[in-house]
Amino acid sequence: MSRRVLGGGGGRLFFWRVGAGARQSQARGWAGAMELPSRALLWKLLLLQSSAVLLSSGPSGSPTAGSSVVSESAVSWAAGTQAVLRCQSPRMVWTQDRLHDRQRVVHWDLSGGPGGPARRLVDMYSAGEQRVYEPRDRGRLLLSPSAFQDGNFSLLIRAVEEGDEGLYTCNLHHHYCHLYESLAVRLEVTDDPRAARAYWDGEKEVLAAVRGAPALLTCVNRAHVWTDRHLEEAQQVAHWDRQPPGVPHDRADRLLDLYASGERRAYGPPFLRDRVAVGADAFARGDFSLRIDPLEPADEGTYSCHLHHHYCGLHERRVFHLRVTEPAAEPPPRASPGNGSGHSGAPGPDPTLARGRSVINVIVPEGRAHFFQQLGYVLATLLLFILLLITVVLATRQRRRGGYQHADRKLAKSAG
């Protein structure tokens, strides 16, 4: 017995390829069970599925994936206006889940040829309700009532007929999470019991079954999104981060935390905390757009919107590079034609007031007199320094001369 794994969407699909001997023994078991009541037949189906569960070692739930960047854009807004950073996702609308236990469904389809149309055989909702479409298939096609608890959506055909040949597809659809996964199995009917086998053709499983014997088309997916039901309010969270210019992503500042339960937390610098907001009905409409009003030049930076839906396996991030420009100056009103009467005589607005916070640098050229003035300061300083130096030299010489005279008088007195 061998196992093949195919990754997809919210979980993994496990294909079990059973050898010819195992298929034959399984067929004999199903042939003996055909004469049992329907309840005993369902119990045998559950036991076979339980054995398949034991054969698969370890949980098959896929790990939570990291946030993936779905969009990155550069936006520009004028200072003093309201900036809106769009972040929308229909998969985060948790209030649309009005189906309850009918939000997950599995259905099997049969296609006669590669290009032929497919027809619906049987479907079942997560509440356990089954529906068989063709009257001839009622009581002949069976799904496990606990498929959405075990993750085993295999289809049992109690007695294979000639018209059962074709390509079968096991389709899993999640209305709330907008997930769709499909698995294909090819069924061939033979009259030779020695030809009954199962193999992998490189793309799908191929099962050769004996006419009149039971056949089990395997479809296993044990991802938690198909087998469990959680409280969606506790599984959804959205938050906004901000990176000032030059700051890497791993050191971004948290601005807002939003939970589907209604809880909100605000962070960030005080000058920005009171000017950012997200709609109160964000989770009802799936719109988590960030509004900054009024916008200031200090608000420039990189903003990122993170959407996490742990139940549906959604982890998305949208990045916005915000640039703040100067507000546009209002054009002066047109003067009405005429002889100067009316509104044309009123003084126009001061054009310097429209500049707002603009800084004007005025450079005055230096004249020739300014150069001579600076030169005079330098020469006067040099002259003072020379005079001070001469004074120090003269004082030093005078002191030395007085010392020599005192030494001569002392020497003469000692000689006399």
Q: pLDDT digits over 379-416, tens only?
A: 999 999 999 999 999 999 888 887 777 777 777 777 76
The partner residues of 146 in beta bridges, in order of sequence, read none
**CA atoms of 330 and 83, how far apart (whole Å):** 20
CA-to-CA dists, residue 186 to 133, 173, 218, 282, angstroms: 20, 21, 11, 46
pLDDT bracket for residue 29 (50, 70, 90): very low
Q: How many domains does the chain have?
A: 2
CA-to-CA dists, residue 113 to 121, 186, 205, angstroms: 16, 10, 16
pLDDT beyond 70 at 231? no
Residue 160 lies inside a defined structural domain of this protein: yes
pLDDT bracket for residue 311 (50, 70, 90): confident
Residue 369 lies inside a defined structural domain of this protein: no
pLDDT bracket for residue 169 (50, 70, 90): very high
Same domain, 14 and 155: yes
Q: pLDDT digits over 338-361, tens only?
A: 444 444 445 555 544 444 454 555
CB-CB contact of 304 with 317 (8 Å): yes
Same domain, 301 and 314: yes
Same domain, 40 and 177: yes
pLDDT beyond 90 at 288? yes
Q: pLDDT digits over 237-263, tens only?
A: 999 999 988 888 888 889 999 988 888
Same domain, 37 and 112: yes
Domain boundary among 303, 325, 347: 325
Residue 193 lies inside a defined structural domain of this protein: yes
Tally of CA atoms within 13 A in the half-sphere of 98 that contains its CB: 3
Buried b (16+ CB within 10 A) or exposed e, 294-326: ebeeebbbbbbbbbbbbbbbbbbbbbbebebee
Question: What average pLDDT does this structure show over 182-187?
Answer: 93
* Window from 7-21, 143-157, 210-224, 248-262 with minimum mean pLDDT: 7-21
pLDDT beyond 50 at 42? no
**CA atoms of 32 and 34, how far apart (whole Å):** 6
Same domain, 196 and 261: no
| Dihedral sign, Cα of residue 336, residue 342, residue 345, residue 349 | negative
Residue 335 lies inside a defined structural domain of this protein: no
pLDDT value for 12: 35
CATH of the domain at 250: 2.60.40.10
Amino acid identity at 5: V
Same domain, 160 and 201: yes
**CA atoms of 96 and 183, how far apart (whole Å):** 28
* Window from 241-245, 274-278, 311-315 with minimum mean pLDDT: 311-315
Would you state the structure tokens that stand for residue 330, as one six-digit string?
């209002």
Residue 90 lies inside a defined structural domain of this protein: yes
Phi, psi values for residue 163, rounded to 5°: -75, 0
Residue 361 lies inside a defined structural domain of this protein: no
Question: What average pLDDT does this structure show over 13-40?
Answer: 39
Would you state the structure tokens that stand for residue 38, as one six-digit string?
């329907």
Domain boundary among 325, 357, 383: 325
pLDDT value for 398: 86
Same domain, 29 and 141: yes
CB-CB contact of 294 with 274 (8 Å): no
Domain boundary among 180, 200, 227: 227
Residues 6+ apart with CB under 8 A from 239: 254, 255, 256, 257, 258, 306
Residue 60 lies inside a defined structural domain of this protein: yes
Q: Is the pTM of this model over 0.85?
A: no
Same domain, 45 and 171: yes
Question: What average pLDDT does this structure show over 351-378?
Answer: 63
Same domain, 73 and 126: no
Residue 392 lies inside a defined structural domain of this protein: no
CA-to-CA dists, residue 190 to 193, 203, 209, angstroms: 7, 22, 6
pLDDT beyond 50 at 11? no
Residue 89 sits in which domain range? 68-94+231-325
Same domain, 201 and 243: no
Same domain, 50 and 160: yes
Q: Which residue has the tokens 């916008």?
A: 295
pLDDT beyond 60 at 99? no
Same domain, 123 and 174: yes
